[in-house]
Amino acid sequence: MKDKVVVITGANSGIGKAAALRFATEGYHVVMACRNMEISEAVQRQIKTESNNPHVDLMKIDVSSFESIRAFYSAYINKYPHLDILIHNAAYLNHGEKEYKLSPEHIEISFATNAFGPMLMTQLLADHLERSLDPRVLAACTTNIKNFFDPKRKIDFDNLRGEYQGTRRYSSYKMYGDSKMALLLLTFKMAEQFKSRGIKVNALQINRIRLSKETMRKLSPLWKGLAWLQNLTNPSPAGMAENYYHICTSDEFSQETGCLINHKREIVQPSISEKGFEQLKNIFGSSTYPQYATDRQTIEKIWSMGEELIRRNN
Ligand SMILES: NC(=O)c1ccc[n+]([C@@H]2O[C@H](COP(=O)([O-])OP(=O)(O)OC[C@H]3O[C@@H](n4cnc5c(N)ncnc54)[C@H](OP(=O)(O)O)[C@@H]3O)[C@@H](O)[C@H]2O)c1
């Protein structure tokens, strides 16, 4: 497997780290795409030792920055002739953050990191993915998108470039959910775009996973306390990393593209109804996603916004 290359963003903690270890243990050539090299070097050493696999590379990337993604891409194509698996695992969610923040290219930071960054990265690497016999892309989505079962919930398209910075109430949690919905819409669109090139693009609906100690360290005391309580019952990242591995390598998913897959590895379907008993099943179950994600106009809107931002910042 050492000729099979997998790139995992944010592979220095949590599910990304567990996935890097899983792939490395199976003998894959793993590229940890991370932003903090000091922390990540220690993790890279640990993964090499635990997996007994020397082919664990570490490359710098800040997924919130188009410039950094382009620098990563140049470095990657200089080093590797192809790419087999690309996992968009890194994400921005600063629990309790009330301040609206912008990326280097002046895009709201959650959208830059969780949606438009993965879009640019996939587009740039598409030629390299196409050289693989079985190229697969997986994006880490979340059950937070269930908030879109509420018919009033919409992506705030008018506030993704700082338009209302400091004047409209900012909720990092809402922006996180919106950006992950955007990631799902972009996943659907990229699956269509890359189908003829054999590149499969899917998303995984992650429910709840124990937060890593690295992530806990970033939290304010209040959120740290809440996360500590949740961590008592939340499962370890290893199980979700196993889902990454299965979706990206198994025969079961070799032909699937444009799907949202849940933590039980079932393909999630668009909801039939968002009223009454059906709505209760939507909210408490994990087998349906909001009709909002099927809206053609919304898919095209987020796609063209991403294209415009990428073009403008080239
Ligand atoms: N944990 C859960 O319960 C849960 C639930 C639903 C969905 N998810 C999703 O699952 C994925 C992994 O979650 P996790 O809990 O394992 O996360 P985590 O432990 O907090 O790890 C997130 C990783 O992303 C990296 N990252 C953040 N911003 C980045 C950027 N701009 N450029 C490069 N790397 C960046 C972080 O790097 P630094 O160390 O440098 O910050 C870290 O390595 C995320 O996409 C998350 O949204 C998680």
Q: Which pLDDT belongs to residue 272?
A: 95
For residues 130 and 82, give the distance between their C-alpha atoms in angstroms, rounded to a whole number: 8
Task: Indicate the DSSP class of residue 76.
Answer: H
Q: Indicate the helix (H) or strand (E) that contains 191.
A: helix 172-194
Q: Which pLDDT belongs to residue 221?
A: 83
CB within 8 A of 225, min separation 6: which ones? Answer: none
Q: Is 110 in the pocket of ligand 1 (CB under 6 A)?
A: no
Q: Is 161 in the pocket of ligand 1 (CB under 6 A)?
A: no
Q: Going by CA atoms, what residue is nearest to atom 26 of ligand 1?
A: 90
Which tokens hold the place of 114?
């969780």
In tens digits, the chain (314 residues) has pLDDT values of 769 999 999 999 999 999 999 999 999 999 999 999 999 999 999 999 999 999 999 999 999 999 999 999 999 999 999 999 999 999 998 888 889 999 999 999 999 999 999 999 999 999 999 999 999 999 999 999 999 999 999 999 999 999 999 999 999 999 999 999 999 999 999 999 999 999 999 999 999 899 888 788 878 888 888 888 888 889 999 999 999 999 999 999 999 999 999 999 999 999 999 999 999 999 999 999 999 999 999 999 999 999 999 999 88
Known catalytic residue at 173 = no
Substitution candidate for ligand 1 out of 13, 41, 94 with most atoms within 8 A of CB: 13
For the chain, helix, strand, coil in percent to 5 are 50, 15, 35
Which CATH fold topology does 5-312 show? Rossmann fold (3.40.50)
The domain limits of the chain are 5-312
Q: Give this prediction's pTM.
A: 0.97
